[in-house]
Amino acid sequence: MSKDYKNPPLTEAVFEVKYGKSVNFSTETIAAFSESIHPLFPIKKKAVRIETSINVGLEKKENDIVNKTIKFDTFYSPDEKYLVHLEENRISIHRLKPYISWVDFASKINAVLSAHIQHINFEKLIRIGVRYINEIVFPKDSQMKDAFGVFLTIPPQIEGEIKSLFCNLVLRVGENNDQLKVRIGDKKSTDKQNAGLAIMDLDYSNEKISFENQKDIMSWLDNAHASIEKSFESLLAEKLKSTFDI
């Protein structure tokens, strides 16, 4: 995030573009892309992920579960805190903790997008998004309900001890059908001195917008980041804001 927070909670920041079809995705264009980003991302590794889908059949009693193996290239910065995933219809740029700044992250995104548009390009953007995943440690005297400005209220008629709690919000933002997904939930803490640990996952995206050029993408991205930063601060209860010196 652009502000320098005390005890920054960010564990990973992600920028992602999904598109319908690559215009020019080949061994040669991947090599040219790799050469272009080499000064920033000199380490290249092969990677694999499994994509699972369920085919629902009306005539079958059971659904077909299909696992698809996707191989792709990953490029790392020298300290391996920045990485780029490159697939035929998807590219993402990741920053792992410790997070430096939005200016630094945006500059890496801009450089990677320039190389991608020059050598590979794509048709029909399906989704563009930026995501910030935070791990927030509770002060000793706080609980989940005290930490956030929005959360689930349990009616007193429901008896029992809450073992786990997760809250999901989906918000429409602005005039371009942008969408902000907010996920807040508890996570088991390994530090016995703390009362608990929470995940705050902020995912800002658009699946309908089109861009004329890279400058428009970066302008959208600046607005998306500003919305995420504002949401992060607004979702924290006053008692927890002091933890980050807000």
pLDDT band at 189, cuts 50/70/90?
Answer: low
Contacts of 52 (CB under 8 A, 6+ apart): 65, 66, 67, 68
Checking if the pLDDT of 113 tops 90, the result is: yes
Checking if the pLDDT of 60 tops 60, the result is: no
- CB atoms inside a 10 Å sphere around CB 111: 17
Average pLDDT over residues 2-14: 86
At 165, give phi and psi (nearest 5°).
-145, 135
Which pLDDT belongs to residue 125? 85
Contact 242, 7 (CB under 8 A): no
Which pLDDT belongs to residue 80? 97
Burial of 232 (0-12, 13-18, 19+ CB in 10 A): buried
Chain position carrying tokens 């996707």 = 70
Q: Could you say which DSSP state residue 7 is in?
A: S
Strand segments, DSSP code E, in the chain are 10-22, 43-55, 64-76, 82-87, 90-96, 122-137, 166-173, 178-187, 197-206
Which pLDDT belongs to residue 24? 84
Indicate the pTM of the whole model: 0.86
Q: Which has more pLDDT, 114 or 146?
A: 114
Burial of 233 (0-12, 13-18, 19+ CB in 10 A): middle
Please name every residue paired with 44 in a beta bridge, in sequence order, or none if there are none.
Answer: 75
Which DSSP helix (H) or strand (E) runs through 80? none
pLDDT band at 75, cuts 50/70/90?
Answer: very high
